Amino acid sequence: MWPVPRDLPDKFDMVLVDVTDQSATKLKGFLEKREKPVTIIAIIGYENPSVLNVILEIGAHAVLMKPVRAAGVLSSMLMARRYQSEQERFSKDMAKLREKLDNVQKVNDAKFILMRHRGIAEREAYDIIRKQAMTKRTTTTEIAQSIINAESILSNLGDS
């Protein structure tokens, strides 16, 4: 489509874009508006640092050289789709790991609060959190967050 449209219709899941050193701003704006991930194949006429930088900036998953010939297009599309799918899966996995790490940190913070206030060992503090979670039929993370919130409120009352 030319000129570059304001946004890409949702029915498109792969885009082949003509990349030049002057097209970076328009292409980035166009591609960043997407809510759904799209596979991007850059078509370039020459290689120089500014064109390569544009390819990286737009997040291209594959590159085709001009003049585009039938040979290589299908394999580039296949590899780009696979790369984009793996990239999406890695991003989801990374988000899950970050959430898990945050949850572990919350539980550790709550254990420290209980250890400090009650003078108990780490294992006992964790057992308290776990028993509360089982009693209330919730996660240890939610109980830990409640302990952290309560400690924050109580420490703020002491400052008044």
**Contact call for residues 61 and 14 (beta carbons, < 8 A):** no
Average pLDDT over residues 21-50: 81
Confidence tier at 155 by pLDDT (50, 70, 90): confident
Q: What is the dihedral of CA 74, 80, 84, 87, to 10 degrees?
A: 140
Q: Tokens 């400090």 correspond to what residue?
A: 116
Residue 44 phi/psi, 5-degree rounding, is -125, 150
| Domain residue spans of the chain | 14-68, 95-159
> Mean of the per-residue pLDDT values for the chain?
88
List, as one string, the DSSP characters of 62-112. Answer: EEEESSP-STTHHHHHHHHHHHHHHHHHHHHHHHHHHHHHHHHHHHHHHHH
Question: What does CATH list as the number for 14-68?
Answer: 3.40.50.2300
- Structure confidence at residue 4 as a pLDDT band (50, 70, 90): low
Give 74-91 pLDDT, tens digit per residue: 999 999 999 999 999 999
pLDDT more than 70, % of the chain: 94
C-alpha–C-alpha distance, residues 63 and 30, integer Å: 18
Q: Which fold would CATH assign to domain 95-159?
A: Arc Repressor Mutant, subunit A (1.10.10)
